[in-house]
Amino acid sequence: MEANQDKVPGSDTTILKLLSSSRKTRVTVIVLVVEFFLNILVASLKLIVGFGLGSLSMIADGYHSLLDGASNIIGVVGILAASRPPDSNHPYGHGKFETLASMAIGITLFFAAYEVISATINRVIDEGVDPAVSGVAFAVMIGTMIFNGTISFVEWKIGKKVGSRILISDSAHTRSDVFVSLSVIFSLFAVQMNFAWIDPIVATAIAGFICYTGWKILSEGIMSVSDVVAIPPEKIREICKEFEGVHDAEQIRTRYHSDSIFLDLIVVVRPDQTVKESHALMDRLEARIIEKYPDVRDILIHVEPEGLERRSPGRPRISAAGPEEGPPPRSPPPPAGDS
């Protein structure tokens, strides 16, 4: 017997999940598109002022903001691909495209770190060539730092609310911009106070932070696409054993699918239970699991009676009478020359 928590078309649960998914897609796309145009505006200001004053750090930060705009486009493409309904080639849906897009955002952080390190090396090589310091430079950098901090916080809050992995990843990317801008401001102060040697040290530290953020996003994506365990099996087994009539739970497997969790398991029940009783029991079990773990989207349960010898994953069940399924083995051919 198999039970699937989200199979009945037209059920309240299915409708709510579809509405939630549609709302998540719409909100995520709107946030990313708005942020794209704002990032282009911020990047233009940094590059214009940076080239005008000869500030390598401001120019590098300007290119960093352009990468932010590129990550917004990656995010939009990813969420639109992930929002497509399941089809014959993708029966589980397209949710992992969102995970892949978030990983791509993480990769762009390494490019941003490369730009900061390149600017630092150029500053060291061109010793004595310091950027000009002006009120305009401070105003642009302080303004963009406050802007990025606000955007990062709002994006993170919305991402958590609608369950968007892309928005949460992109908020981490935007938050790194705050520290990059802070390093540029610190650099400008250092130059003004004749401590230009501080600038490459701070820039290197910021590049390390950006790399750490990128790796954190990438590692989370890698765990998701590699089907790492989403819920410890013993936790699911504890829930199963809360129900009278359930003897045990075996072969418990969970995995992430974007912001959702898929669960497969075998539930061992009393052998005297009817199919109808077992089905009702599994309905209650599913409801309890989802109550405990709301991110669980799909549950596949195979019910087996207690006392039955069970097979290992991927192997046919073997009993004293031989294989459970399949044709009997063929008789060996007669020796050559026999009539």
Q: Are residues 268 and 212 in the same domain?
A: no
Asked whether 185 and 98 are in contact (CB, 8 A), the reply is no
Q: Are residues 33 and 174 in the same domain?
A: yes
pLDDT for 163-177, tens place per residue?
777 788 788 878 877
> What is the CA 166 to chain-centroid distance, rounded?
7
Domain assignment present for residue 331? The answer is: no
Asked whether 156 and 18 are in contact (CB, 8 A), the reply is no
| Residue 242 neighbours by CB under 8 Å, 6+ apart | 288
- Residue at a domain's end among 225, 255, 280: 225
DSSP code, position 258: T
pLDDT for 264-276, tens place per residue?
999 999 988 899 9
Residue 13: pLDDT band (50, 70, 90) is very low
Q: Are residues 211 and 245 in the same domain?
A: no
Q: Are residues 101 and 213 in the same domain?
A: yes
Amino acid sitting at position 135:
G
Q: Are residues 216 and 260 in the same domain?
A: no
DSSP letters, 271-315, are: TT--HHHHHHHHHHHHHHHHHH-TTEEEEEEEEEETTPPPPPTTS
- Residue at a domain's end among 225, 257, 284: 225
DSSP code, position 265: E
Q: Are residues 143 and 246 in the same domain?
A: no
| 324/28: higher pLDDT | 28
Residue 93 token pair? 């849906």
- Residue at a domain's end among 167, 196, 225: 225
Kindly state the percentage of the chain with pLDDT values over 70. Answer: 81
Residue 86, SS3 per DSSP = coil
Domain count, the chain: 2
Domain assignment present for residue 326? The answer is: no
Residue 192: pLDDT band (50, 70, 90) is confident
| Residue 7 neighbours by CB under 8 Å, 6+ apart | none
| 116/69: higher pLDDT | 69
pTM flag (> 0.85): no
Q: Are residues 7 and 63 in the same domain?
A: yes
Q: What angle do CA 155, 224, 65 make, to 5 degrees?
A: 35
Q: What angle do CA 30, 34, 35 make, to 5 degrees?
A: 115
Give the pLDDT confidence score for residue 281 in this predicted structure: 94
Q: Helix/strand/coil (H, E, C) string of 177-233?
A: HHHHHHHHHHHHHHHHCCCCCHHHHHHHHHHHHHHHHHHHHHHHHHHHHCCCCCCCH
Domain assignment present for residue 13? The answer is: yes
pLDDT for 229-239, tens place per residue?
999 999 999 99
DSSP code, position 7: -
pLDDT at 325 over 60: no
Domain assignment present for residue 47? The answer is: yes
Q: Are residues 248 and 161 in the same domain?
A: no
Determine the length of the chain: 339
Residue 262: pLDDT band (50, 70, 90) is very high
Domain assignment present for residue 118? The answer is: yes
Domain assignment present for residue 327? The answer is: no
Domain assignment present for residue 318? The answer is: no
pLDDT for 269-319, tens place per residue?
998 889 999 999 999 999 999 999 988 988 999 999 987 765 555 544 443
Q: Which domain holds residue 9?
A: 2-225
Query: What CATH number should be reported for the domain holding residue 202?
Result: 1.20.1510.10
Q: Are residues 247 and 205 in the same domain?
A: no
Q: Are residues 139 and 193 in the same domain?
A: yes
Domain assignment present for residue 35? The answer is: yes
Q: Are residues 128 and 176 in the same domain?
A: yes
Q: Are residues 219 and 276 in the same domain?
A: no
Query: What CATH number should be reported for the domain holding residue 304?
Result: 3.30.70.1350
Give the pLDDT confidence score for residue 8 in this predicted structure: 38
Kindly state the percentage of the chain with pLDDT values over 90. Answer: 20
Average pLDDT over residues 155-169: 83
